[in-house]
Amino acid sequence: MNNSISWGIIGCGNVTEVKSGPAFNKMPGSSLVAVMRRDGAKARDYAQRHGVPKWYDDGAQLINDPSINAIYVATPPGSHEEYAIAALNAGKPVYVEKPMSTGTASCLRMQAAVEATGGKLTVAHYRRALPMFNKVKELINEKIIGDIRTVRLSMLQQDKSSITAKTETNWRVDPAIAGAGLFYDLAPHQIDIILYFFGNPIESYGLSANLAGLYSAEDVVMGVMRLPGNILFNGQWCFTVSETAQEDICEITGSKGKISFPVFGQTVTITTEAGQEVLNFQPPAHIQQPMIEKIVQYFLGKGENPCSAEDAIESMKVMERFAYGKIMAHG
């Protein structure tokens, strides 16, 4: 067993600048050793700015670097499977960005590689490690709002929303690279946290459309789920509304009140007969650091997997059913 984790990043793009990259050097037993981008000049620039010792323009070279014993795959989703399986075959554990891949079939191949190699893989559903969402989970489990009845989620954003990530080319709306557009970019955080709270769904189905015609991916998605305990979920996503219609809310209604919060915000509101309480949370400087801390412990053999391939596959199944209108039971 390794005594420390020496990381290599494949795809040192925008998400790694603040959200994740610097966090790898900010905890015991973890260091960032190398980064890779196909554009070598950008890889070198990233390495110089962040004080990373090595850079590559070829993923295979980074994976086979003997000084690296763990791989973070932060490329667009279309290449997650290729790089994750290559790393697992090289005997190196993998932390892969969300969504795990562009579809369930690809995710299942990645899971099979984990099983075949006896390796480790964790998916970046990092809200599972943030205090705000663990507080909501605690409130649900303590029945502060009684027995849960319904969950309502609404994510309405304008085309150039501050929530949607910015890149030089908008690959997030190219189905060949990213699947079902901005829905596949943002909904993984939302769907995963609902399953983290309540468990895997019993059934789910949905519908989608492209109404604005700005790109080839879907821009409107609606879906419903039956969760354990007969809790009913309904969600809506649209990425082409006006600024005045923007909304980011998850509302959990129980027999004695409700809990509401923005999935991309920092405030939890608890409403019961006793009144209303508002909890404010301060996000960490590097939003993925609490998750990465758990992953380091898992890779070192000192903790549990904070989000396994199996976990991520469940949320991928839901997203696929919502986006592509498949009506089917889980299991």
Between CA 263 and CA 132 the distance in angstroms is 10
**Same domain assignment for residues 136 and 256:** yes
**Same domain assignment for residues 69 and 195:** no
* 8 Å CB contact between 9 and 68: no
Which domain covers residue 193, as residue numbers? 127-286+315-329
In three state form, how does the secondary structure of the chain look?
A: CCCCEEEEEECCCHHHHCCCHHHHHCCCCEEEEEEECCCHHHHHHHHHHHCCCEEECCHHHHHCCCCCCEEEECCCHHHHHHHHHHHHHCCCCEEECCCCCCCHHHHHHHHHHHHHHCCCEEECCHHHHCHHHHHHHHHHHCCCCCCEEEEEEEEECCCCCCCCCCCCCCHHHCHHHHCCHHHHHHHHHHHHHHHHHHCCCCEEEEEEECCCCCCCCCCEEEEEEEEHHHEEEEEEEECCCCHHHCEEEEEEEECCEEEEECCCCCEEEEEECCEEEEEECCCCCCCCHHHHHHHHHHHCCCCCCCCCHHHHHHHHHHHHHHHHCCCEECC
**Same domain assignment for residues 215 and 258:** yes
The DSSP bridge partners found for residue 71 are 8, 94
Residue 41 token pair: 């000049």
pLDDT by residue for the chain (331 residues), tens only, comes to: 578 999 999 999 888 999 999 999 999 999 999 999 999 999 999 999 999 999 999 999 999 999 999 999 999 899 999 999 999 999 999 999 999 998 999 999 999 999 999 999 999 999 999 999 999 999 999 999 999 999 999 999 988 755 554 444 454 555 454 444 688 889 999 999 999 999 999 999 999 988 988 877 788 999 999 999 999 999 999 999 999 999 999 999 999 999 999 999 999 999 999 999 999 999 999 999 999 999 999 999 999 999 999 999 999 999 999 998 755 555 5
Among the listed residues 313, 302, 306, the one whose alpha carbon sits nearest the alpha carbon of residue 291: 306
Inter-axis angle of helices 309-324 and 104-117, nearest 10? 170
* 8 Å CB contact between 21 and 38: no
**Same domain assignment for residues 249 and 263:** yes
The number of domains in the chain is 2
**Same domain assignment for residues 101 and 195:** no
**Same domain assignment for residues 200 and 216:** yes
Q: What is the CATH number of the domain that holds 169?
A: 3.30.360.10
**Same domain assignment for residues 137 and 280:** yes
**Same domain assignment for residues 232 and 109:** no
Beta strand pairing call for 94-96 and 220-227 = unpaired
* 8 Å CB contact between 15 and 74: yes
Q: What is the CATH number of the domain that holds 11?
A: 3.40.50.720
Backbone angles phi, psi at 119, to 5 degrees: -85, -175
* 8 Å CB contact between 186 and 155: yes
Please return the burial class of 285, using the count of CB atoms within 10 Å of its CB with bins 0-12, 13-18 and 19+: exposed
**Same domain assignment for residues 121 and 256:** no
Between CA 161 and CA 283 the distance in angstroms is 20
**Same domain assignment for residues 24 and 115:** yes
Among the listed residues 223, 270, 267, the one whose alpha carbon sits nearest the alpha carbon of residue 248: 267
**Same domain assignment for residues 143 and 235:** yes
pTM of the model: 0.91
**Same domain assignment for residues 147 and 266:** yes
Write down the pLDDT at residue 26.
95
